[in-house]
Amino acid sequence: MAKIIGIDLGTSNSAAAVMQAGRPVIIPSAEGATPAGKMFPSYVAFTKDGQRLVGEPARRQAVANPEGTATAFKRKMGTEHKYKIYGKEYTPQELSAYLLQKIKRDAEAFLGDEVTRAVITCPAYFNDNQRQATKDAGAIAGLEVVRIINEPTAASLAYGIDKLEKELKIMVFDFGAGTLDVTILEFGKGVFEVKSTSGDTQLGGTDMDDVIVDYLNDEFKKDTGIELKSDKMALVRLREAAEKAKIELSTTLTTEINLPFISADSTGPKHLVQTLTRAKLEELVSPIVERCRPSVERALEDAKLALGDIDKIILVGGPTRMPLVRRFIEEIMGKKVGRGVDPMECVAMGAAIQAGVITGEVKELLLLDVTPLTLGVETLGGIFTPLIPRNTTIPTKKSQIFSTAADFQTTVTIHVLQGERPMAAGNTSLGQFNLVGIPPAPRGIPQIEVAFDIDANGILNVSAKDLATGKEQAMRITAPTKLSKEQIDRMIKEAEKFAEQDKKRKEEAELRNQADSLAYTAEKTVKDLGEKITKEQREKIESAVKDLRGALGGREIEKIKDRMENLKKALQEVSTVIYQQAAQKRAGGRKQYGEPPKEKKDEEVVDAKYKVVDEGKE
Amino acid sequence: MESSGKKSAESSEPSARDLRLQLKERDGLVREYLSRLRWLQAEFENYKKRVTKEREELTAYANEGLVTQLLDVSDNFERAIGIAKREEGNRSIIQGLEMVYTQLQNILKKEGLVQIKAVGEPFDPFKHEAVMRVSSNDHKDGTIVEEIQKGYFFKSKVIRPSRVKVVKNP
């Protein structure tokens, strides 16, 4: 079955997407991405010698060939308007078809397969004529348009609104490079209905760039008396810097604009150095943002709705990434706006989702789940050792080899936990079990394979196997009460909040493990070497081990570190031969994966979110 | 146990028609699952191919971002040297600057940076961007007469088109 692609055929920029493994993916443009991101400019041009250019190359030559270049022809869709280019006439749908042809080619290159069908979006206010013209454009390009959907509906689909089993009133605020569209939709029983539309065809992000350029130009003029805008080369650099600063200030509070050697006068070269803060940027563009207000109000009025009636606000278009624009809308509406989908890509993505629904590709059946939190076991010193990281798609299986922490230890406790904190105590216990009957051996020698296996239903099977004897023990954990979104978010937030503190505790635990291991190695070395070292040397090491053990009983980290150093020195003082032997032992010890699990008595199970279904088999 | 089991089995024994219906339903399901599986498998195969290709591209163009950012530095070096040369004196400092600039250029060239030819060439929108047009009796239409900002290829990709002045006679 061939794929159907989703197309956002925009006034200034266009993009296409397709479903890949259940998710919409933007199809890259062959001529490379523009500064606008993954979209390409909606330009078509003809050169004098009859060559046709589409997208980025067409935009690049627009200045040199204005009479051969057409853009924003979407505004003329469905009218009798004809574009006259070098003696030939073109309808808006023919020009749109050239954009679609390019998209078709890009999609075929991307998918490695022929593409013949598409879902295309159009503004909610498009009438039947305009919609038919859009369909015709598809036909000219060799694409069967299986459905035309409204841009705001597509954006809502990208946000997964159709999955909410609720009746909702949605405002879609689409603030593009050159136009503003405000649409109010009503969603219920799987259907989107347009309640009202309004907007401004002469308002967009380009206006913002203009005021920033003007500001930088004026500031420079104040300092130097030079008008940068009259120098084409300086203007190119200025405009680029202004756009970059605008984008940067969406995530940072201040940015530095450095344009060395931007100009020169009789006193020498001049540099533009200007710090732009977000506050200053907002002061500059706020009159432009303010011009959006009447459109929002009109849309509400036409839909006969009050501010409080809107359940959901969706933002579309690059300029809505600006914190000022988001704040502006939130202030008018008294409500938070939805986030999580790229505002520039969401219309194309929504179209792809609609296409996926038509091919039957989007089905609940295939939606794979992910583990919301990290799953792992507790190891020596109360450290949480992860086996399956969060956001892993299930079904999945992971295993790791552990060992014992003490000599002749015959039982290990597998304590299963979930959470994002590095220490076991900070996470939620899911249950524990013992693997008994491990043949007595020095610590670090037994190999115990712990395996986590989550099936498609989210049921976790944990098993522990002694590789020497083949003895196995297992436990099954189901999720009778799934964690709510809030609980998961809380746990993740907590992990971030306590990150610093947890890191310290983990480091402390690891240091203790190292110290313990060092003391053990030292004792073993002394024993192994027997008469090969002098009595003095032995006593020195033995006393250093005793000191270290003493420090380990206390809580002073520095003391442990000091005594570890002392012991290391004492060991080093013993001949190099002995030192090398000890090093080999340590290296040998490190080959075991992970830390040996801590031997632990059965303790109370804290607040388990999962339930133990059956304790394993012997 | 046996007898009671038999009895209940008899009483709940579905008719042949029911079974046929059930079978048909199952057949439908099997077909659907199989088709989904094939679909998924095919998609996975394609995905693997695409990821391999993308990884190759990624390795080849791994330094693209860094090189692109360094273009501004290179531009500014050229400007600094150009302006310094207009005045007398400071010969050795200029020479030093030129050496540092060459050093930077050589590193970028080794990574795959190639300057796009512009002045005197016919305008090509796949590598040039027109920012101005001028009329000229000495040149043919579409000839580039001035380069406002240098453009570059990174390997085979245009990472920045040259910004140029193009002849356009009325």
Among B87, B129, B134, the residue to mutate for chain A (most A Cβ within 10 A): B129
Mean pLDDT of chain A: 84
Complex ipTM, two decimals? 0.72
Nearest to B149 among A236, A361, A365 (CB): A236
Give the mean model confidence (pLDDT) for residues A236-241. 89
Residue B98 sits in the same domain as residue B120 = no
Residue B51 sits in the same domain as residue B82 = no
pLDDT of residue A147: 92
Residue B54 sits in the same domain as residue B74 = no
Region of residue A91 (phi > 0: left; psi between -120 and 50: alpha; otherwise: beta):
beta
Domain hosting residue B138, numbered range: 114-170
Nearest to A32 among B83, B149, B157 (CB): B157
Whole-number CA gyration radius for chain B: 35
Residue B70 sits in the same domain as residue B107 = yes
Closest CA to A345 of A208, A174, A148, A182: A174
Q: Which amino acid is at B122?
A: P
Give the mean model confidence (pLDDT) for residues A502-516. 84
The residues facing A413 across adjacent strands are A434
Which residues of chain A have a CB within 8 Å of the CB of B76?
260-261
Give the mean model confidence (pLDDT) for residues A456-465. 83
**A357 contacts A4 by C-beta, under 8 angstroms:** no
Residue B85 sits in the same domain as residue B100 = yes
Is B129's CB within 8 Å of A60's CB? yes
pLDDT of residue A596: 44
Residue B35 sits in the same domain as residue B47 = yes
Angle of helix A205-224 versus helix A278-290 axis, rounded to 10:
130
Per DSSP, the residues of A486-551 read: HHHHHHHHHHHHTHHHHHHHHHHHHHHHHHHHHHHHHHHHHHHHGGGS-HHHHHHHHHHHHHHHHH
Is B168's CB within 8 Å of A64's CB? yes
Please state which of the ranges A41-50, A118-127, B42-51 shows the lowest mean pLDDT.
B42-51
Provide the shortest C-alpha distance from residue A368 to chain B (in Å): 13
pLDDT of residue A583: 60
Whether A98 shows a pLDDT value over 50: the answer reads: yes
Residues in B lying within 8 Å of A, measured between beta carbons: 36, 39-40, 43-44, 46-47, 49-50, 76, 79-80, 82-83, 123, 125-126, 128-133, 141-142, 148-149, 157-158, 161, 163, 165-166, 168
pLDDT of residue A607: 35
pLDDT of residue B89: 76
Residue B17 sits in the same domain as residue B53 = yes
- Asked if the C-beta of A367 comes within 8 angstroms of chain B's C-beta atoms, the answer is no
Distance CA A76, CA A266 (A): 51
Known catalytic residues of A?
8, 74, 151, 174
Kindly report whether the global pTM for this prediction surpasses the value 0.80: no
User: Which residues between 263 and 302 in chain A have a beta carbon less than 8 angstroms from any beta carbon of chain B?
Assistant: 264, 268-269
Residue A211: which pLDDT band, with cuts at 50, 70 and 90?
very high
Instruction: Between A577 and A64, name the one with better pLDDT.
Output: A64
Whether A582 shows a pLDDT value over 60: the answer reads: no
Residue B151 sits in the same domain as residue B118 = yes
- Asked if the C-beta of A50 comes within 8 angstroms of chain B's C-beta atoms, the answer is no
Is A57's CB within 8 Å of B126's CB? yes
Is residue A589 helix, strand or coil?
Answer: helix
Residue A451: which pLDDT band, with cuts at 50, 70 and 90?
very high
Q: Over the stretch A522-535, which tens digit does the pLDDT of each residue have?
A: 888 778 777 777 77
Among A63, A113, A228, A237, the residue to mutate for chain B (most B Cβ within 10 A): A63
Provide the shortest C-alpha distance from residue A65 to chain B (in Å): 8
Distance CA A119, CA A351 (A): 6
Residue B119 sits in the same domain as residue B162 = yes
Residue B97 sits in the same domain as residue B118 = no
Instruction: Between A281 and B61, name the one with better pLDDT.
Output: A281
pLDDT in tens, chain B (170 residues): 444 444 444 557 788 899 999 999 999 999 888 887 887 787 788 788 888 888 888 888 888 889 988 999 999 999 888 888 887 777 888 899 999 999 999 999 999 999 999 999 999 999 999 998 888 888 888 899 999 899 999 988 899 999 999 998 87
Q: Over the stretch A9-43, which tens digit does the pLDDT of each residue have?
A: 999 999 999 998 778 999 988 876 555 568 899 99
Q: Total structural domains in chain B?
A: 3
CATH of the domain at B136: 2.30.22.10
Residue B69 sits in the same domain as residue B100 = yes
Residue B157 sits in the same domain as residue B132 = yes
Write out the two tokens for A369.
Answer: 């789940």
Is B83's CB within 8 Å of A32's CB? no
